[in-house]
Homo-oligomer: A and B are copies of this chain.
Amino acid sequence: MEFDDKVPIYYQIKTVIYDQIIAGQLAPGDKLPAIRQLAVSMTVNVNTVQRALSEMIAEGVIISRRGRGNFVTDNAQIVEQLKQQLMTSYLKQLYDRLHRLNISDEQMVAELTAYIERQGDSNGNDIED
């Protein structure tokens, strides 16, 4: 797996797993791959994965069952909270950044739309069948 060398790996792992939960690839109650499994598939040390998991456990999103595995909480409300929280933080980051560049609210939406258009040119999503 590829990581941004400007952000701690354990933190990026956390983001990836959280994103999977929000996207529904990991449903409430689902079992995560074994820690050693995750470490191998991400080409990372076990301790690094564990550090990511520790934080997620502390935040109540992951439930750890010794000898059995790690599971996504079955509390749908926590997952929903997580979703809102992450979505907002992502949007806020873009908003703050573009704001610092003196981009107005309207321009901001326009820029995003334009970017998506450009993406569409090469991806062709929604168009090809």
| Residues of A that sit less than 8 Å from B by CB | 6-8, 11, 19, 22-24, 83, 86-88, 90-95, 97-98, 100-102, 105, 108-109, 111-113, 115-116, 119-120, 125-126
Contacts and interface: CB of A to CB of B under 8 A. Distances in A.
Contact of A102 (B11, B23, B108): B23
Main secondary structure of the interface of A (DSSP, over half): helix
A112 B102 contact: no
A113 B112 CA distance: 10
B102 A24 contact: yes
A125 B105 contact: yes
Given A23-B100, A86-B101, A92-B115, 6 more contacts: A19-B100, A19-B101, A87-B101, A90-B97, A108-B112, A109-B113
